[in-house]
Chain A
Amino acid sequence: MNEQEFRKEVAAWMATHLVGRFACLKHRGGPGDEEAYPALRKEWEQEMASGGWVGLGWPKEHGGRDLPLALQLAFHEEYVRAGGPGRMGHIGETLTAPTLIALGTPEQQRRFLPGIREGREYWAQGYSEPGAGSDLAAISTRCWQDEDGRWRLQGQKVWTSLAHESDWIFVIARSTPGSVGREGLSFLLVPLDQPGIEIHPIRQLTGEAEFNSVFFDGAVTEADCIVGQPGEGWKVAMALLGFERGVSTLGQQMHFSHELQLLLEVARANGAAQDPAIRQRIADAWIGLQGLRYNGLRMLEDDTGSTKVRPEALIYKYAWSNWHRDLGQLAMDVIGVAGDVRSDEDAVRRLQQVFFFSRSDTIYAGTNEIQLNIISERGLGMPRG
């Protein structure tokens, strides 16, 4: 399929569907703004599903469209360009589904993929724990099988995005008593709406609560809700992280570009655009975004058959999160004292969210420090401590 035509098709669909009752969703939602219209954004997911825009990269036999990476990226870019709201279904679509497609049983695929594709079932990710952050293998949540084969869970997960809006959670838990580290873990699919589970919101420094603690107290799930064999949980968990080859992450560059445009508008309007030091920093922000963009395009390079490390992929998380954090600081320096007040002006409100929320960017999904360890060890062959 021709990329330009595909882009036009996406843009045309967005122009005729992100209207009416959905119009208020433009540029809303996503990290830092998850409390905006969650119910309506779920309806929007169903609208998107009916347009055939969910599961673009999934194989056709699982209801996807099997589009190449370049077109998936084109979709994300056009989606954001049109103001498409932050996706409620992205954990299911980009993490749960590829994992089930690769490692799930046919029954699991039949049971779960349609709900994700049709925007009916929402997923949360149960990896981190209070004692297992950067050291993810230090998991202490336990799971075991009852006599009837059903799985039970005991423990606590934390930083669970949107758990309060989700129906299911995938969890890694310790199934072999006394095991340590990566051994003895299992990967379970667990329904959230049950007496054995309590979800407590975590109020973040912005005052909002997009993350949660999820407490499992004898929570239960069916015997066949395990992906892989008991004890293979670490392997499945890592495979899941590998499926996210950054296509939706690349789409986020359009969000960044939108944020930078807002910053330029504010700077022009309030006179900060005249300050020579601010001008230098604004130019640097634009340059940095170009760096992310070309780095992203390099990630799409064809390297079929090569087993070489992809340096551009390895550095990407560190690069974008630090760029974004700097953008937030620059935005507040542009806004000046007016930044002290929670703004109702769209541009300023969004930039304030960037400033505060981006402090988490360099912490979640591998802190800066963990990223630098990984880059030096995998990218440069530096020896492990």
Chain B
Amino acid sequence: MNLTLSDEQRALQETAADFLAEQGNARKDVQDDAGLWAHIVELGWAAVQVPEELDGLGLGAVELGLLMEEMGRRLVRTPFFSTVVLAQTALLQAGSAHAQQRCLPALAFGAQAATLILGPGLDADPATLTVHARRDGEGWHLHGEAAQVLDDGQIDVAYVAARLEGDAAIGLFEVQAGATGVERTPLEVWDLTRPQARWCFDEVRVDAEARVDDADKVCAGLVRTRVLAALQLAAEQVGGAAQCLQLAVDYTKERVQFGRPVATFQAVKHRVAEMMVRMETARSTVRGVMARVAAAAESDAAALDDAALFAEVSAARVLATEAYRYCAQEAIQLHGGVGFTWEYDPQLHFKRAQWASQWLGASSAWRETLAAQLLDVA
């Protein structure tokens, strides 16, 4: 397997890095968020993983991951993660062909920003779903509450996994954010770059067309969605960790104590070196698994079954989670007093790192499922 990036991939990465260094909005007014999202859509980034036959760019996990890494570095606040990484992936993995054709072009070209509602923390286990669907003639009634939904206020549509009443099965439903009976309450979150809201569904009526899943693959498809989304989140975590390392290196080279830059002290050098070891190991793994997933998508010979995909992604995900938390924590420590202030960036990463460590499965859960694969063979 070749991990070397192509010239096109390198160019995409450089463009994203330059653009986001200038346009990153973590510290800007939320009023301007819509402008950044529109700009990102204009650049075609939301179309990266949409197949060419649906007018997308038809690229793969590697390209999307490069974008995610750069967005993680700048803590970009847009509906990109919820629209592209969550909703698009759910449609691609669990959606019917008809729904893919109907919904994906709008998500690719920004007519719509979307989010995905599964169980708490984006759990794909049907037992954890908190929204129920009841058949009503040709259509459906949705009822229930999702306590925490990724929603930055720009969301137009949610794809909601709901348990079907009187049936063990689940369905995936398209619900307009403004539909009658939908109530969204923004939550006061610590990580302001990743806004959330509570969504209540009070007998929300949707028509038959709103059921977008392919019933034969919805369960497995949503599990796969979660795994693939976790891989993209891992890329974002690597970008954040890399930025924490950069901030720590830059600051300690500048900060003078005892008549010399604190970067000259071995106690400081060893800490940044340890950050680099963890971040680069996570980056190697995330990039490697992305290449593996992309190869699997291109050739049957390289296909990954669900267990193998899970195992590959678990490595990327756990290494990235732990690296980001470690690097964010170290960045605060290495900034000394100012690291504890609102004005300096380490706190932003510290909060994002904590957020990212819990959604799409905490490390302990990934490890336990992996351990079961490794140890509990029949």
Interface set of A (CB-CB < 8 Å, partner B): 264, 267-268, 273, 276, 279-280, 282-284, 286-288, 290-295, 297-298, 300-302, 311-312, 315, 318-319, 369, 371-373, 375-377, 379-385
Instruction: Contact check, A291 vs B315: say whether CB atoms are below 8 A apart.
Output: yes
30 A-B pairs whose Cβ atoms sit less than 8 Å apart in the complex: A273-B376, A279-B375, A280-B367, A280-B371, A283-B314, A283-B366, A283-B370, A283-B374, A287-B314, A288-B319, A290-B285, A290-B312, A291-B319, A292-B281, A294-B284, A294-B288, A294-B289, A298-B3, A298-B288, A301-B2, A301-B3, A312-B284, A315-B280, A315-B281, A372-B269, A372-B270, A376-B276, A383-B261, A384-B264, A385-B264
- What secondary structure prevails in chain B residues at the interface with A? helix
Instruction: Contact check, B276 vs A315: say whether CB atoms are below 8 A apart.
Output: yes
In the complex where A283-B368, A312-B280, A376-B273 touch, is A298 in contact with B315 (Cβ < 8 A)?
no
Q: Which of B263, B264, B282, B367 contacts A284 (CB 8 A)?
A: B367
Q: What sequence of 0s and 1s flags, for each residue 68-88 of chain B, a beta carbon within 8 Å of any chain A beta carbon?
A: 000000000000000000000
Instruction: Contact check, A383 vs B276: say whether CB atoms are below 8 A apart.
Output: no
> Considering the complex, which residues of chain B in the window 196-227 have a beta carbon less than 8 Å from any beta carbon of chain A?
none
* Shortest Cβ gap from A300 to chain B (Å): 8
Task: Provide the bound-state CA to CA distance between A254 and B266, in Å.
Answer: 34
Instruction: Contact check, A369 vs B374: say whether CB atoms are below 8 A apart.
Output: no
Instruction: Contact check, B253 vs A382: say whether CB atoms are below 8 A apart.
Output: yes
By the criterion of a CB under 8 Å from any partner CB, how many residues of chain B are at the interface? 45
B4 interfacial by beta-carbon distance below 8 Å: yes
Task: Provide the bound-state CA to CA distance between A297 and B290, in Å.
Answer: 13
Task: Provide the bound-state CA to CA distance between A341 and B46, in Å.
Answer: 60
* Shortest Cβ gap from A318 to chain B (Å): 6
Instruction: Contact check, A377 vs B269: say whether CB atoms are below 8 A apart.
Output: yes
* Shortest Cβ gap from B186 to chain A (Å): 36
Task: Provide the bound-state CA to CA distance between A47 and B377, in Å.
Answer: 38
Q: What sequence of 0s and 1s flags, for each residue 229-261 of chain B, a beta carbon within 8 Å of any chain A beta carbon?
A: 000000000000000010001001100000001
Task: Provide the bound-state CA to CA distance between A377 and B312, in Å.
Answer: 32
B168 interfacial by beta-carbon distance below 8 Å: no
Rank and list the top 4 A-B pairs by shortest CB-CB distance, nearest first: A294-B288, A283-B367, A290-B315, A279-B371
Which of B273, B311, B364 has the largest number of chain A CB atoms within 10 A?
A: B273
- Please indicate the chain B residues that have their CB under 8 angstroms from the CB of A384 in the complex: 264
Q: Which of B272, B274, B281, B375 contacts A295 (CB 8 A)?
A: B281
B351 interfacial by beta-carbon distance below 8 Å: no
* Shortest Cβ gap from B326 to chain A (Å): 14
* Shortest Cβ gap from A336 to chain B (Å): 16
- Please indicate the chain A residues that have their CB under 8 angstroms from the CB of B273 in the complex: 318, 371-373, 375-376, 379-380, 382
Nearest residue (CB) in A for B318 is A287
In the complex where A287-B315, A294-B287 touch, is A282 in contact with B371 (Cβ < 8 A)?
yes
Task: Provide the bound-state CA to CA distance between A376 and B266, in Å.
Answer: 9
Instruction: Contact check, B276 vs A311: say whether CB atoms are below 8 A apart.
Output: yes
- Please indicate the chain B residues that have their CB under 8 angstroms from the CB of A376 in the complex: 269-270, 272-273, 276
B1 interfacial by beta-carbon distance below 8 Å: yes
- Please indicate the chain A residues that have their CB under 8 angstroms from the CB of B189 in the complex: none
* Shortest Cβ gap from B91 to chain A (Å): 29
- Please indicate the chain A residues that have their CB under 8 angstroms from the CB of B282 in the complex: 291
In the complex where A283-B367, A286-B370, A383-B261 touch, is A319 in contact with B3 (Cβ < 8 A)?
no
Nearest residue (CB) in A for B367 is A283
Which of A264, A283, A302, A383 has the largest number of chain B CB atoms within 10 A?
A: A283
